[in-house]
Structure 1
Amino acid sequence: MATTSLTSRELNHDVGRAKKAAEAGPVVITDRGRPSHVLMTYGEFERLTGKRRNLVDALSMPGLSNFDFDPPRSIIATREVDLS
């Protein structure tokens, strides 16, 4: 994960560049040479804050289509019922 550093002036002049850099990793915004803010994607923010996803969101995450899932077949045994 790459960390990019931008001055607040650079951020104001080229927000698109900062947003693109945030896709690769956090962007540290400096004010008078000192770190003051961090720009990140909303997905990264959710991951860091531990926001819980619902099942549909979790199953629609990118990359899950490459995941092999082959659970063993359940065997359910029947039994005789005595109705006497």
Structure 2
Amino acid sequence: MTITTLTSREFNQDTSRAKKAANQGPVFITDRGEPAHVLLSIEEYRRLTGVRESIIDALGLPAGVEDVEFEIPRSRDLPRSPDLS
């Protein structure tokens, strides 16, 4: 794991460098010489926080399955009157 330190100015001028460095390890961003922020990859963030995928993501379709045909058969039953007693 590589730790990278950038000033706020360096971060603002080259965010793509910071994002690439975050894939190798944390990126400390300093403000007036003091660490102020840390940039992490999403995988590292999830590992540290223990965040699991949401129930929506867990129940969703697997990647690459976008075209699912779903047809609901038309009901032949007549509607019933509501029971208001």
Q: Please give the secondary structure, in 1, of the residue aligned with 2:22.
A: helix
CA distance in 2, matches of 1:14, 1:52: 31
- What are the residue-to-residue correspondences of 1:29-68 with 2, within 5 Å? 29-53=29-53
Structure 1: give runs of 5+ residues left out of the alignment.
Answer: 58-84
Q: Please give the secondary structure, in 2, of the residue aligned with 1:24.
A: coil
Q: How many angstroms does 1:31 deviate by?
A: 0.2
1:22 corresponds to which residue? 22
CA distance in 2, matches of 1:15, 1:53: 27
Q: How many angstroms does 1:53 deviate by?
A: 4.5
Would you identify which runs of 4 or more consecutive aligned residues in structure 1 move more than 6 Å? none
Q: How many angstroms does 1:51 deviate by?
A: 1.3
Could you say which structure has the higher helix fraction?
1
Root-mean-square deviation over aligned CA pairs: 1.7
1:2 corresponds to which residue? 2
Question: Could you state the TM-score of these two structures normalised by the residue count of structure 1?
Answer: 0.61
Cα distance per residue 1:23-72 (max 9 Å; x no partner): 00000000000000000101110110001348xx7xxxxxxxxxxxxxxx
CA distance in 2, matches of 1:42, 1:12: 20
Give the partner amino acid of 2:9: R
